[in-house]
Structure 1
Amino acid sequence: MSYDIIVLGSGPGGYVAAIRASQLGLKTAIVERESLGGICLNWGCIPTKALLKSANVFEYINHASDYGINVKGAEADFEGMIKRSRGVAEGMSNGIQFLMKKNKIDVIKGTGKLLPGKKIVVTDADGKTTEVAALKGIIIATGARSRQLPNLPQDGKKVIGYREAMSLPKQPKSLVVVGSGAIGVEFAYFYHSLGTDVTIVEFMPNIVPVEDEEVSKQLERTFKKKGMKIMTNSSVEAVDTSGKGCVVKVKTAKGEETIECDVVLSAVGIETNIQGIGLEDVGIATDKGKVLVNDYYQTNIPGYYAIGDIVPGPALAHVASAEGIICVEKIAGHSPEALDYGNIPGCTYCSPEIASVGYTEKAAKDAGFDIKVGKFPFSASGKASAAGAKDGFVKLIFDAKYGELLGGHMIGANVTEMIAEIVAVRKLEVTGHELIKTVHPHPTMSEAVMEAAAAAYDEVIHL
C-alpha cells in the first residue's frame, strides 16, 4: 500500500499532522500500536485533568462552609474518580477515531518500524507484518515515556510512573513524589486533596524549577499551608521496597533523612521513544536522545520528518500539534512561518494553577535587558475575593526601552485560561502602554493582566 503521507504515532502531534495532511488533499495513513490519541489523550493531559477536577470538587465540598453552605459526610470515592478519568480518556480517544474516519485517514494498527525508501513495516498483535510506502514523506511522532533513574527503578506497584499514578487500585495513605515539575506537583495536589500524606522531593532549590522564582515560592507556600512536606535541594538516593511499603533515603543539605511511605511516584521527566523504530537502519541523525531536524522538521534523510517530544524543544502537546501542522504544510508546498519557540505557553494544573510564557525575570536580566516588572496580586482582585480564590498573582516583565512584553507569569485560579492573552499580545508585539489601555471586563480575574501592566509603569489603580 502507498500513501502520500504516513504518520508514525497518533498523539497530539501525529493525529493533528494526519488531519492537516488530509485537509490539504494528501492521501494519509497513521500507524499506532496502542490507542489513538497517544499518551496525551489516554494517559497524560486529558485523564489527569479529569482527576484534578475531581480533586477540585472535593476541595470545594470540604470548604463549602466558606461559601455559606453546610455539607456533611462527604467522602472521596477514589475508585470512582479513577473510573471517571478513564471514561473521559476513552471518550476522547473515540473522538479521534471519528476524526480519522471523517478525514478519510487509514489507521494501521501495530508497531511500526522505519525502512529505507520511505517505507514502514507494521507488525500487528498477531505478529503479521504489512509494508506501507510514502510518496511524499514519513512523519515520525512516537512521543515519550516516563524517565527511569538507575537508583529509582519503577516496579509499577510501589515505585510508579505517571501512568500507574492515574490507575492505582486503591488510594495510598502516604506518597513521596520525586520531582516537582508539572507532573509531580499535579499528582501531589491530587493525592493530597484526597487525604494522602504527600512529600515532594526536588533536587533544585525551588519546586516547579522552570518557572519564575516568585511563582515557585508562592506555590511552595501554598502547598506547605495545605499540609504537604516540601524538600528542596534534596535527592532520593535509594528506595527499599522489600517490606510492606517503601523506605526512601533522601540526601538533603543537612544530611540524610529516611521517609516511610506506601508508594513512591517518580516524576523526574520523560525520555523519548526512539529506540527500535529503525532510525539507525535509515541513517536518521540523533543527538542526546532527540532526532535532529530543521525549522520545518526535515531530518537529515530526505522524505523523513520528525515532530513532538522526540525533537528538540518543549515536550508539550500544543507544541507537537503546531509542529505537525507546520511540517505538513511545508511538505504540501506551502510557506508556513517557522514556530517561535520563545512564545510557547506552559501550564500546570495543580491548585493554584500556574501559567507562563516568555522570559522569567532572571532570564530577562541575564539576557541583558533593562526591564520593568509589574505585579498584581489576586488578593486585590474583586472577582478573586468573590470567588474565594485570593492566592496568587499576575507578573509581567517588559523591556524598559521599547515596552516589549518579554514574559508573563501567573499563579492562581483559572490562570491556564488567561495565559493565551499574553501569548497573543506577544505575537502581535503589543507594548506595555497599549496593554494598559486595553479595556478589560470587570469583575474578572483577567483584569489582573491590565493592572500588572499598569503596575510596571506606576499607573496601577487598585494597589
Structure 2
Amino acid sequence: MIKSYDLIILGGGIAGYTAAIRASQLGLRAALIEKDRVGGTCLHKGCIPTKAFLKSAEVFQQVKNAGHFGVQTAAAALQFSKVRERKDEIVQKLYQGVQSLVKQAKVDSFTGTATFVSNESTTEHHTVIKVNDDQTLEGKHIVIATGSRSRELSTMPFNNDLVLSSDNMVELRELPQSVTIVGGGVIGVEWAAMLADFDIPVTIIEPMDRLLPAEDESISKAMQTSLEAKGVTCWTSVKDIERSNDSAAIRFIHNEEERLVENEKILVAIGREAHTSDLNLDAIGVERDGNVILINDQQQTTVPNIYAAGDCTSGPQLAHKAAWQAKTAVEHIAGLQVEGYALSDIPRCIYTTPQAASVGLTQQQLERKQRPFEAKTYPLQFNGKALIEETTGFAKLLYDPETNDLLGLHLFGDHVTEMIGIGAMSLYVNASTEELAEVILPHPTLSETINEAAKMAIGSPLHI
C-alpha cells in the first residue's frame, strides 16, 4: 500500500526535523525518514558533543589556573569518564526533546534508508520514494536533508583504530596519549584546542598556507598564536601527506624537506562531504556538483517539486544555516513569500578558548572582489571586561567607505560567539557604522568592543 503525503523529508537532522515541524505548523501532511536517530550529526556527533567536551577542557584549565585569581584548590585531576557521562547526558536530554517535538508535530516517522524511484514513476506533482526497499511513499513535495559525512583521505582511510574521523573521536572511551590532526579548518582547530586543554600533545598538519583558510587572515593568525601558546605544533603549507607503514606516523614535505610526525592517533579533519550518493538522484534528474545538490534561492533543485537543505547543499555546513534553509523550503512549498539569504551573512563560530566568530565578508574576499573597503580593529586589551576575564583578541570591522555600510565583522576572544549576533543583525538590517556606534551597549562587557570599532570607523574613538 502506497502512503501519500504533501511533503516527504529525507533525513532527520536539524534541517529535517525543522522542515517537519514547520510543515506541521503550516498544515501540511508530512513524513520524516531517518536511518538512525533524529537530531543528526550536530546533536549526536558534532556541535553538541564537541562543545560539551570543549567546556570540560576549559573548566579543567580554569581550575588548574585558579590560584592566579586568588582561589586555592587541590591539584586538578581529569576524569574523562565523567566528561563522557556529562556529554552523553546533554545529548540524551536534547535528543528526547527533539523526539518530543516531532511527535507533537504529528509527523509520520519512518526508520530506514530512502531512495528515489526512477523518473518513470515521478510526475510534476508526485514523487515516489522507497524506504528500505519494502515500503513505498508518495509525496507532492520532497525535502532532501541527508546531511554530510566525514571526508576521507585516500592515503589514510578511517579504520576507527589509528586513523579516526571526528565522528569516531566523540565516541572515544579514553583520551589518546598524543594526536596528529590532518586539517586545520574549524573541526581541526577545535579538536586541537580541546585536546591541548586536556594536556594532550597535538600536532596540526595543514596543506594551505594558514589555519582556518576560509576565515579572515587576522582570525587565522590569532588562532595559530593561541594554539601554539597551548603547546600545539602547527605545520602549514605542507604537501605529500601520507601515513607511514600502517602506523600512526605521518610523513609530509615542508619547505622541500621531508618531515615525520609520530603520535598515538591520527584525526583526519579535512571537512565533510554531502551525503547524497545513494539516493538515486540521477534517475530523477536532480543535478549535483559532485555530491552537492544544486538549488535556487527558494531551495528548489532542478526538479521543481524537490527541495534540498543543509549540508547536502553548497555553502557553510552549519546547523543554523540548515535550519533556515529547511524553513525557507517548507514555506515556499506552502505558497508563502520567501527571500534568499547571502551565505556570507550567516554567522560562523569556532568554540576554542579563546573563541573566534565572524559574519559577512573577509578582508581577503573583498580584496579579491576589488571592492573598496575600510578596516578598523579594536584590541580587547583596552576593554575592562577583557582584562577581568584575562582574554586577548580583537573586534575587526570592515565597512564600505562611501556608504559606511557594514561588510564584515570578525571577533577573537573569550565569549565572542555570544556577540556575533550583533553583526548578523546589523547585516540583516543593512546597518551603517554610525548606527553601530550609536547603539548603547552595557558596561562592562566584551560587546563594547564592537561599539568601539564602529566609533573608530566614524572618527570618534573613545577608549583608544
Task: Please list the CA deviations of residues 383-442 of structure 1 after superposition, one character each: whole Å capped at 9, or x if unmatched.
Answer: 1111222x1111001110000101000011011110011010111111111211111111
Task: Please say if residues 12 and 320 of structure 1, whose CA atoms lie closer than 8 Å, have aligned partners that are also in contact.
Answer: yes
> What code does the residue aligned with 1:72 have?
A
Equivalent residue for 2:286? 284
Deviation at 1:241, TM superposition (A): 5.7
Match for 1:101 among 100, 103, 106? 103
Deviation at 1:76, TM superposition (A): 1.0
Match for 2:134 among 114, 129, 145? 129
- How far apart are the structure 2 equivalents of 1:287 and 1:5? 25
Task: Please say if residues 6 and 30 of structure 2, whose CA atoms lie closer than 8 Å, have aligned partners that are also in contact.
Answer: yes
Equivalent residue for 1:440? 441
Match for 1:379 among 362, 370, 381? 381
Task: Please say if residues 29 and 106 of structure 1, whose CA atoms lie closer than 8 Å, have aligned partners that are also in contact.
Answer: yes
- How far apart are the structure 1 equivalents of 2:349 and 2:240? 26
Deviation at 1:370, TM superposition (A): 2.6
What RMSD over aligned residues (CA atoms) do the two structures have, in Å?
Answer: 1.4
Match for 1:198 among 202, 209, 225? 202
Equivalent residue for 1:30? 32
TM-score of the pair, normalised by structure 2? 0.95
> What code does the residue aligned with 1:277 have?
L
> What code does the residue aligned with 1:129 have?
D
Task: Please say if residues 345 and 357 of structure 1, whose CA atoms lie closer than 8 Å, have aligned partners that are also in contact.
Answer: yes
Deviation at 1:242, TM superposition (A): 3.9
Equivalent residue for 1:212? 216
Gaps of 5+ in 2: none
Task: Please say if residues 322 and 339 of structure 1, whose CA atoms lie closer than 8 Å, have aligned partners that are also in contact.
Answer: no
- How far apart are the structure 2 equivalents of 1:336 and 1:370? 30
Does 2:399 correspond to 1:395?
A: no
Equivalent residue for 1:233? 237
Match for 1:78 among 60, 80, 84? 80
Task: Please list the CA deviations of residues 243-291 of structure 1 after superposition, one character each: whole Å capped at 9, or x if unmatched.
Answer: 5xx1110211241111110001000011111111121222221122211
Task: Please list the CA deviations of residues 89-138 of structure 1 after superposition, one character each: whole Å capped at 9, or x if unmatched.
Answer: 22211111100111111111111112243121111xxxx7211111x301
- How far apart are the structure 1 equivalents of 2:341 and 2:430? 16
- How far apart are the structure 1 equivalents of 2:176 and 2:456? 45
Instruction: State which drifts further: 110-119 or 143-152.
Output: 110-119
> What code does the residue aligned with 1:76 have?
L
Instruction: State which drifts further: 194-203 or 250-259.
Output: 250-259
Match for 1:249 among 251, 255, 277? 251
Match for 1:159 among 144, 147, 163? 163
SS at match of 2:261: strand
The alignment covers a number of residue pairs equal to: 455
Task: Please say if residues 173 and 195 of structure 1, whose CA atoms lie closer than 8 Å, have aligned partners that are also in contact.
Answer: no
Equivalent residue for 1:407? 408
Deviation at 1:300, TM superposition (A): 1.9
Task: Please list the CA deviations of residues 355-397 of structure 1 after superposition, one character each: whole Å capped at 9, or x if unmatched.
Answer: 00111122223323332211111111101111222x1111001
SS at match of 1:13: helix
SS at match of 2:8: strand
Equivalent residue for 1:294? 296
Does 2:192 correspond to 1:188?
A: yes
Instruction: State which drifts further: 339-348 or 11-20.
Output: 339-348
> What code does the residue aligned with 2:153 have?
L
Deviation at 1:236, TM superposition (A): 5.6
Task: Please say if residues 47 and 89 of structure 1, whose CA atoms lie closer than 8 Å, have aligned partners that are also in contact.
Answer: yes
Identity of aligned residues (%): 36
SS at match of 2:14: coil
